[in-house]
A and B are shown apart, each in its own frame.
Chain A
Amino acid sequence: MPADPARPPIDARAPASHSVRGRRAGRSTPRWEDFLKAPRFAYLRVSSLAQVFDAFAEHGEEARILAGGQSLVPALNMRLAEPRLLIDINPIAALAGIERRESVLRIGALARHSEVGASPLVAELAPLIHQAVPHIAHPAIRNRGSFGGSLAQADPAAELPACVVALDAVLHLASRRGERRVAARDFFRGPYETALAPDEVIAAVDIPVAPKGARSVFLELARRRGDYALAGLAAEAREDGLRLVFFGVGGRPVEAGAAASALAARDIAAAQAALARDLDPPGDLQADGATKLHLARVLLGRAARALAAA
């Protein structure tokens, strides 16, 4: 993977944010974190974004957003994160909802995975996401976990970040300063690291509606149903090109440009070989880098055949 001086290296040390997975892997200093009860914090329930921004203004980085909580609460229980204030944004109606807005499918940040997975709009207009949702954890988690929350968490092995990159989605980031739009491919910076400023909240995500003839293939290899991916591929073929976005093989979703070019020329073998130029997966607890690269190649072959057959 070519190094980008503007971005931190993929193999970054301990994540800036919180993550339960492999939480002691890669640590230089052993710590025994025997905590499974959350530390003390103040709780604020809000019903508007304005209230969120007020809280951020007053408390700065000591305040954290509580949305679905499916990633944050384990981290709190393990005291990997110890915010002074939790801002419960679940009642904010403006952040919910899935609707079509002309050529765009808008998914609210608080749309639950289960809603997104069951939505006929999503199935029709963003079939890639429809295919991905059943791979996210398990039913009880999907009932609380939120679309925006998953993107903000930016787990390198999560499904939705790769999907929104493959779909050229645009994220609406809201703060006291107003709203700005960030392209999905610019949003994910590294493991658990995004373009979100500390006082910003994802409000919604706009996904260009799949045109006629678009083909989507979502493939994931995980040790067990619902686990994070060993390697995964979100592939979207539209008139204007083929997007191959891998996850679980780097610090963030990786777009395999060289492989996509070779595939556009219908050469699967060349595409699989080119993958070595696109990917340089770090190893993790489940598999080393070479194994991940191999698995990515296999997924590429399978996606290519599925796209051709579609």
Chain B
Amino acid sequence: MSESVEIRLTVNGAAVTRRVDARQSLVDFLREELGLTGTRAGCEHGVCGACTLRLDGAIVRACLLFAAQLDGARVETIEGLSDSGEIADLQAAFHRRNALQCGFCTAGMLVTAAALLRRGGVPSREEIRDFLSGNYCRCTGYCAIIDAVEEACRARAEKASP
């Protein structure tokens, strides 16, 4: 046990080794230590969703994890999802529909929507709203986001079985 912990993990495919203060949250670690500022701290109590990223393939709140817990973990942030091209279609749909304004919630929204997209099929608007119900946006009023996600789901489903 220690107030300072060594962790080895992968972040966006790259191996990272660091010694961290036990109390440093994952979102602060990514932002301060690794300069990956796309993941944002909007509330630090797990409610707003701006810090959402992928941990070992599942979406989680980075403000509710300590970096110290991440030894052996695989973290993917918005930067990684962007650079790999995985969500290019989703980002394009967001862009076309203006499903973002100030952009502060956008990373968390995209990472969450990407998880829905991965399920396949075409969810109803209600199902999309439900899945995104934990991501706070103040600018868009959500309609354009639902439109963009619906569009992306449809396009992917069509590609999968034309």
A interface residues (Cβ-Cβ under 8 A, vs B)? 20, 36-45, 55, 66, 69-70, 73-74, 76-78, 85-86, 88, 90, 114, 137-141, 143-144, 224-226
8 A-B contacts (beta carbon < 8 Å): A40-B21, A40-B22, A42-B22, A43-B66, A44-B1, A45-B68, A74-B45, A88-B69
Min C-beta distance of A66 to chain B, whole Å: 8
Question: How far does the alpha carbon of A88 sit from the alpha carbon of B3 in the complex, in Å?
Answer: 13
Task: Confirm or deny: B95 has a beta carbon within 8 angstroms of a beta carbon on chain A.
Answer: no
Question: How far does the alpha carbon of A42 sit from the alpha carbon of B3 in the complex, in Å?
Answer: 4
Task: Confirm or deny: B49 has a beta carbon within 8 angstroms of a beta carbon on chain A.
Answer: yes
Question: How far does the alpha carbon of A38 sit from the alpha carbon of B21 in the complex, in Å?
Answer: 11
Looking at B28, B59, B63, the one whose CB has the most chain A CB atoms below 10 A away is: B59
Contact across chains for B44 and A36 when beta carbons are under 8 A apart: yes
Contact across chains for A77 and B45 when beta carbons are under 8 A apart: yes
Residues of chain A with a CB closer than 8 A to B21's CB: 40
**Nearest opposing residue in chain B for A225, CB measure:** B133
Min C-beta distance of B62 to chain A, whole Å: 9
Residues of chain A with a CB closer than 8 A to B81's CB: none
Question: How far does the alpha carbon of A66 sit from the alpha carbon of B65 in the complex, in Å?
Answer: 10
Residues of chain B with a CB closer than 8 A to A38's CB: 23, 25, 66
Residues of chain B with a CB closer than 8 A to A224's CB: 133
Q: Which 7 A-B pairs give the minimum distances between C-beta atoms?
A: A138-B134, A43-B22, A44-B1, A74-B45, A225-B133, A143-B58, A73-B64
Min C-beta distance of A18 to chain B, whole Å: 12
Interface residues on B, range: 20 to 34
Looking at A78, A138, A143, the one whose CB has the most chain B CB atoms below 10 A away is: A138
Known contacts A42-B2, A43-B2, A69 near B65 by CB under 8 Å: yes
**Nearest opposing residue in chain A for B134, CB measure:** A138
**Nearest opposing residue in chain B for A134, CB measure:** B130
Contact across chains for B1 and A139 when beta carbons are under 8 A apart: no
| CB under 8 Å from chain A, chain B span 23-60 | 23, 25, 28, 44-46, 49, 52, 55, 58-60
**Nearest opposing residue in chain B for A76, CB measure:** B23
Contact across chains for B23 and A140 when beta carbons are under 8 A apart: no
Contact across chains for B1 and A138 when beta carbons are under 8 A apart: no
**Nearest opposing residue in chain A for B52, CB measure:** A140
Residues of chain A with a CB closer than 8 A to B135's CB: 138
Min C-beta distance of A46 to chain B, whole Å: 10
Residues of chain B with a CB closer than 8 A to A74's CB: 44-46, 64
Task: Confirm or deny: B115 has a beta carbon within 8 angstroms of a beta carbon on chain A.
Answer: yes
Question: How far does the alpha carbon of A76 sit from the alpha carbon of B3 in the complex, in Å?
Answer: 15
**Nearest opposing residue in chain A for B64, CB measure:** A73
